[in-house]
Structure 1
Amino acid sequence: MSETVHTAPALPTARPPGCPFDPPKELLQAREHGPISRYLFPGGHEGWLVTGYDLVRSVLADPRFSSRKELMRHHPLIDYGDIEVPPAPPGEFLLMDEPRHSRYRKPLVGKFTVRRMRLLTERVEQITAAHLDAMEQAGPPADLVTAFAKPIPAVVICELLGVPYEDRGSFQENIDMFLGGEATDEELYAAYLATQQYLAELVAAKRANPTDDVLSDLLDSDLTDEELRGMALILLSAGFDTTANMLALGTFALLRNPEQLAALRADPALTEPAVEELLRYLSVAKTFTRVTLEDVELGGQSVKAGTTLILSYNTANRDPERFTDPHVLDLGRRDGGHLAFGHGIHQCLGQQLARVELRVAFPALLNRFPGLRLAVPAEEVAVRPETADIYGLKSLPVTWDA
């Protein structure tokens, strides 16, 4: 093992003032020292921070690194002490390894194929147009988060899962509570209980009266109601919050890069690469955690079994050894292959759905409002704190020429 290994600062670290799109400078500095750094968790556990693209990707594909919740005893913000962490509840497959993971993911894979998601394009266009109509009728200014970024993925995922349209507000509020990074423990617990209760009632309603949706399709399997509830929770939260924050933060990034915005408006063929570049550049799902199941060597370092690793997606997607000029937003970029959706068995199940929504929504917004611009100075745009699981905006005040 190398004698001189960089020790990373404690997380979370704030982003530089006026640079809401860049990872915290301390993380970028850690990457400059090499793709892996020592990390000291609250409570004294010695772990590792992985910041390089190749190393993050290799860990995500290696079954020696576990996602099991009961092994996640070390957290950047919390010292669990001697508290025993329970396994993930049935159905919540993001915090499981094989074979439990496949029990829940496998029945869903066919529901989220590229072909099936592209068949949704027309419906996504209708939903997007309806919200743009409402914005236009209300007139400027508007908060793009509440008028556009949140409702579009909320309606799409509700329809896909069979959640009644009128119920979307309550689940949206609770998911904001889970992932926004500002709730107290009491608020988190209350939001979780309320969501579990709602999903239990939803599953029971589907049992009594199946409809044409993903949740009803799963009723013919051997999955229990408790398992279906856990799967629905994962799909609702992942299918809503990440896309909502990509839409808001992505629009903000385009408004701050007017040449790139103009290029996207001028060339519809740029839409697909533009979406991939925004996913790479913003990396709203910032970090994930893994625990070693056995002794391994990683990046020239000996990592003992039971060690916790933090995988930094946002620095991996800004790795200069993988991407040319990684801190530049370049919608015509050709060196793709970002990790915004992860990699390996836990790669985002809904990535094709997210792509459809982003490919429809960005050009629709920009074409409907050619004069779209910030309604406040850029430094006054309210961003989520670094404690949030998913990075993004709390609001985005915009205006346009009515």
Structure 2
Amino acid sequence: MHNEPSTNAPETTAGDLAPLSELPINRPSGCPFAPPAELAQLREEQPLRRMTYPDGHVGWLATGYSTVRAIFADPRFSSRYELLHYPLPGGPEGGLPPAPVGDMTGMDAPEHTRFRKLLAGKFTVRRMRALTDRVEEITAEHLDAMARDGGPVDLVKAFAQPIPALMICELLGVPSSDRETFQRQTHTMTDRRSTDEERMAAMTGMGEYLHALVLAKRAEPTDDLLSDLTTSDLTDEELTGVGAFLLGAGLDTTANMIAHGTFALLSNPDQFAALRDDPDLADKAVEELMRYLTIAHTTIKSALEDVELDGQLIKAGETVTMSMEAANRDPQRFPDPDSLDLHRKATGHLGFGHGIHQCLGQQLARVEMRVALPALVTRFPSLRLAIPADEVPLRTFSNIYGVHQLPVTWDKE
């Protein structure tokens, strides 16, 4: 049940605290896994705080676990891009455009429900577990290649990127010869350093290819998800959009979790040893790494009507930025939250979001990480960084946090 707006609720002030001048984004020096230090202080002071956005809009920042989770689950908050204000400098002039056709992240019900129902059955736990054998094959192939080549290698290119790329492309029926192009285009679209022209070129190229692929699947269906969807009521344009959305979601996020998760394990030798010595910890390890790293930092929503939350009044039209990285480090939900503990029961974390927009492909991501990470640390028990940790290039300017490269090496047999 949602709280109805109160007639005597406070106006748009948050106690006696002035609005933040900007979203904290600077991580502590020398700690690539910690959120900006200011977020913890804000969460303790007031988990829902007024914030000024770069375009001058005065909206909100949510940092507390219960607050963020409540907003995720509340249908009075919209995910439609054109209603949102971008919380970081460099956003599109004149506001965000509406979501591209098929981009479920920027949809509300009932449009979102229509797409979600069609796709949910394709990403069930049972179906994703059935793919485990194929994930294990792909993982073993890339570990064998690493062993043949010898270290040092860039773990991102040699291991972390190929596994989810091959899996999502196999699911959609994308020919192997085109998969490197998709990885490059996806990175261009998610990297905040890309120019508007570069992003548009990548989006256009991907859209044109996928449209041709949709037509081919309609003419000659094969055993893949895209062919399955040709029997639905989705138009060619909608199918093309769904394909682009799934490719973007399936390639970049899991690749970063595998690479950045490995970096975190190597930076916490006791946790690396725990997974190496007990691969059955994989399930807990994946959930804890999702909580600890939270590579998708923020989600933005806009109030469709006045909403009272945490004693504050969020007015209709005001944007709320939800800091998942702050929420996943909330000590009221996760004791000793700044420690990586693979034995922790981290269920309930917000690394995959929550509510109707919870990550559609989370079960596939879990399968890939549950297979890849323990296989890596058991195959190469002496795995270590090949460069100093402070020289690892971080994806600081990307919407998905992680590493650009992760040079690693190991003792040769």
TM-score (norm: length of structure 2): 0.94
Q: Which amino acid aligns with 1:175?
A: T
- Residue 77 of structure 1 and its aligned partner are, at CA, apart by 2.0
1:29 paired to 2:41: yes
Distance 1:79 1:177, change over 3 A: closer
Give the aligned partner of residue 142 of structure 1: 153
Letter aligned with residue 240 of structure 1: L
What whole-Å deviation, never above 9, does each CA across 1:33-80 have from its counterpart, x for those lacking one? 121111101121100000010010000000000001221244422465
- Contact kept, 8 Å, 1:117 with 1:353, in 2: the verdict is yes
> Is residue 72–residue 355 contact of structure 2 (8 Å, CA) maintained in 1?
yes
2:411 corresponding residue in structure 1: 401
1:11: which partner in 2? 23
**Residue 237 of structure 1: how far off its partner (Å):** 0.8
Q: How far apart are 1:86 and its partner, in Å? A: 4.0
Aligned residue type for 1:170 = T
SS state of the match for residue 220, structure 1?
A: coil
Deviation at 1:160, TM superposition (A): 0.6
Q: In structure 1, what is the Cα distance between the partners aligned to 2:89 and 2:213?
A: 34
Q: What is the identity, as a one-letter code, of the residue corresponding to 2:26?
A: A
Q: What residue number does 1:68 align with?
A: 80
- Compute the TM-score of the two structures, normalised by the length of structure 1: 0.97
The answer for the alignment partner of 1:123 in structure 2 is: 134
Aligned residue runs from structure 1 range 300-379, under 5 A: 300-379=311-390
Deviations 1:139-194 (CA, angstroms, capped at 9, x unpaired): 11000011001011000100011111110010100000111222111111111111
Match of 1:198 among 193, 209, 229: 209
Contact 2:79 2:301 in 1 (8 A): yes
Letter in 2 for 1:271: A
Change (3 A) 1:59 1:133: same
Map 1:277-316 → 2, pairs under 5 A: 277-316=288-327
d(CA) in 1 for partners of 2:91 and 2:404?
Answer: 28
Gaps of 5+ in 1: none
Please state how far the C-alpha of 1:12 moved relative to its aligned partner. Answer: 5.5
**Contact in 2 for aligned 1:181/1:389 (Cα 8 Å):** yes
Counterpart in the other structure of 2:258: 247
C-alpha distance in 1 between matches for 2:218 and 2:69: 40
Compare 107-116 and 19-28 and name the one that shifted more: 19-28
CA distance in 2 between counterparts of 1:226 and 1:207 reads 13
Distance in 1 between the 2:31 and 2:20 partners?
A: 21
Shifted more, 347-356 versus 7-16: the winner is 7-16
* Residues 395 and 9 of structure 1, relative CA distance in 2, 3 Å threshold: farther
1:388 Cα deviation (Å)? 1.4
Supply the distance in 2 between the matched residues of 1:9 and 1:253 (Cα, whole angstroms). 31
**Partners of 2:28 and 2:405 in 1: how far apart?**
19
Conserved 8 A contact 2:291-2:346: no
SS, match of residue 311 in structure 1: strand
Give the alignment of 1:122-271 within 5 angstroms.
122-271=133-282
**Contact 1:181/1:384 (8 A) holds in 2:** no
Q: 1:120 to 1:6 in 2, by over 3 A?
A: farther
Partner of 2:402: 392
Q: Residues of 2 paired with 1:84 and 1:332: CA distance?
A: 44
After TM superposition, the structure 1 stretch with the greater mean CA deviation from structure 2, 25-34 or 134-143, is 25-34
Partner of 1:47: 59
**Post-superposition shift, 1:92?**
1.3
User: How much does 1:85 deviate?
Assistant: 4.6
Give the partner amino acid of 2:151. Answer: P
- Contact conserved, 2:297 with 2:323, CA < 8 A, in 1? yes
Give the total of aligned pairs: 400
Preserved contact between residue 55 and residue 85 of structure 2 (Cα < 8 Å): no
Shift of 1:240: 1.2
Q: What SS does structure 2 have at the residue aligned with 1:112?
A: coil
Tell me how far 1:400 sits from its aligned partner: 0.6
In 1, Cα distance between equivalents of 2:342 and 2:309: 33
Deviation at 1:84, TM superposition (A): 6.3
Aligned AA for 2:75? P
Shift of 1:396: 0.3
- Check 1:69–1:229 CA distance in 2 against 1; reply closer, same or farther (3 A cut): same
Q: Which moved more, 1:184-193 or 1:273-282?
A: 184-193
Alpha-carbon distance in structure 2 between the residues aligned to 1:165 and 1:145:
18
Q: Which amino acid aligns with 1:218?
A: L
In the alignment, structure 2 segments of 5+ residues that lack a partner are 1-9
Identity of aligned residues (%): 60
Q: Secondary structure at the match of 2:122?
A: helix
Aligned equivalents of 1:379, 1:254: Cα separation in 2: 15
Instruction: Note the aligned Cα RMSD (angstroms).
Output: 1.4
SS at match of 2:230: helix
Corresponding residue SS for 1:15 = coil
How far residue 311 of structure 1 moved from its aligned partner, in angstroms, is 0.5
Aligned partners of 1:9, 1:242: CA distance in 2, in Å?
A: 29
